[in-house]
Amino acid sequence: MMSRLKVEMSNTKYNSFRPGEVWPDNHGVHINAHGGGILFHDGIYYWFGEHKIAGEAGNAAHVGVHVYSSCDLYNWKDEGIALAVSDDLKSPIARGCILERPKVIFNPRTKKFVMWFHLEPKDAGYTGSLSGVAVADKVIGPFQFLRSFRPNAGVWPENVPAEARRPLLAEEAAFVAKLDLPGGPLPYFPKHLLFRRDFAGGQMARDMTLFVDDDGSAHHVYASEANGTLHISKLSDDYLKPAGKFVRVFPGRFHEAPALMKWRGKYFLISSDCTGWAANPARISVAENIFGPWEELGNPCLGTGAQITNTFNSQSTFILPVQGRADTFIFMADRWNPKNAIDGRYVWLPVEFRHGVPTISWRDEWDLSFFDKANG
C-alpha cells in the first residue's frame, strides 16, 4: 500500500491548472494537443489534439494527432501520435495538409475508437472544407484513416421549409458564384443559398466537435456554409458516417469553435465569433433538444471588458464533464500563437452555473476543489 502510494505520488508533479501557462507533460515538454478534445475511457482521460511544430509552418499538420493520458487532469503522460500524417503525397492526409480540431469517441457496439477532424488537403487553403474519419482498436491508436468527404450530400436539412428544399436556380447559382466568400462575416452573406448549392456534393465542414448523448447517439457539429451556419448532424450507429439527419443552426451568424455540454436535460453550446486565429467574444446558446430550436443567450464570460471581448484571449475547443462529480464541467480553449504554433497555450477554466446558465470567469490558478466550494 505504502509503496504504491509512493509511486503514484512520485508521478504527480502538478495539482492545479494554470490557464495560459506552459503545461509540461511527463517528459517536461509543453503538451502538444491543440484544438483538442478529451475522451474518458476505463477510468483514464485521453486528450487528443493537433500536434503543431514551431513557426508559422506549424499551422499545417506535419506530424498528426497527439494523445496524452491522465488520471487526475493535471498530470499528462505522452502516449505518442494517435493518427500520423502520411508520407504519400497522394494521401488526403499527406504531410502539410491542414488537420484541425480532432475529437475521439468510443463506440460500445463496435468497440472501436472513432476520430473525426476538419481536413483541408495540402496546398489548397481552406477551400476543401472536408470532414476526416479515422478508426482504431486501441484508445491511443494507431488510428487508420478511413475517408474524407463533405457531409450530408443529397440530404436536405430537417429544419428548412419544403419550398427551400431545391437546388439553386441558374440565376441564384450565378449570383453566388460572383461572391467572394472568404469564410468570415459579410453584410451581403447569402445566408440561405449555400446549403442548397452544396446539396449534391455535400456540405462544407470546418471547425467541429463531436457529442455523444445519454442514449449513445452521436452528433457531429460543424461550421458549414462558408462558416456562416452551424450544422448539427446525427452520426450512424457505428459513428463512421452521417446518419442522414441534420439541422442548420443560426444561419448567417458565423459561429466557430463549437463545444457542447448537457446539463440537467438542456444542451448548451459554447462557440466563438469568426475571426481566424485572433481571439473574439464567445457565445452561449441553449436548446431543449439537440436538433433545436436553439436560442443564443449572449456571452458566457464574466470579467473585465477585455476578458469578455476576447474570451480570456482564447477560443473554445471542448467542454469536459469531470467524471464522478455532479454539475462539474471544464471549459477548454486554445490561446493560439499562429507565428509559433507549437507555443499555443491551453486555457482551462471551471464552468460556473449562475441562474441556470454556464458562465466562465478567469482564475490564475485553480484546482478541482473549486467545485466543492461552487457546488457546496
* Contact residues: ligand GAL, CB under 6 A: 35, 100-101, 207, 256-257, 276-277, 315
Query: Closest approach of Cβ 92 to ligand GAL, in Å?
Result: 17
Query: Of all residues in this chain, which one has the CB nearest to ligand GAL in the complex?
Result: 276
Are 286 and 268 within 8 A, CB to CB? yes
Distance CA 307, CA 186 (A): 25
Distance CA 376, CA 76 (A): 28
Distance CA 31, CA 47 (A): 10
Planar angle of CA 366, 370, 376, nearest 5 degrees:
170
Distance CA 320, CA 299 (A): 19
Q: Would you say 100 or 352 has its CB closer to ligand GAL?
A: 100
Q: DSSP assignment, residue 339?
A: T
Residue 217: what residue type? S
Q: Would you say 198 or 256 has its CB closer to ligand GAL?
A: 256
Q: Would you say 207 or 352 has its CB closer to ligand GAL?
A: 207
Query: Closest approach of Cβ 198 to ligand GAL, in Å?
Result: 19
Retrieve residue 95's grid coordinates. 504531410
Q: Would you say 101 or 335 has its CB closer to ligand GAL?
A: 101
Query: Closest approach of Cβ 207 to ligand GAL, in Å?
Result: 5
Query: Closest approach of Cβ 100 to ligand GAL, in Å?
Result: 5
CA separation (Å) from 15 to 2, 335, 345, 374? 20, 22, 18, 18
Q: Would you say 106 or 348 has its CB closer to ligand GAL?
A: 348
Query: Closest approach of Cβ 107 to ligand GAL, in Å?
Result: 25
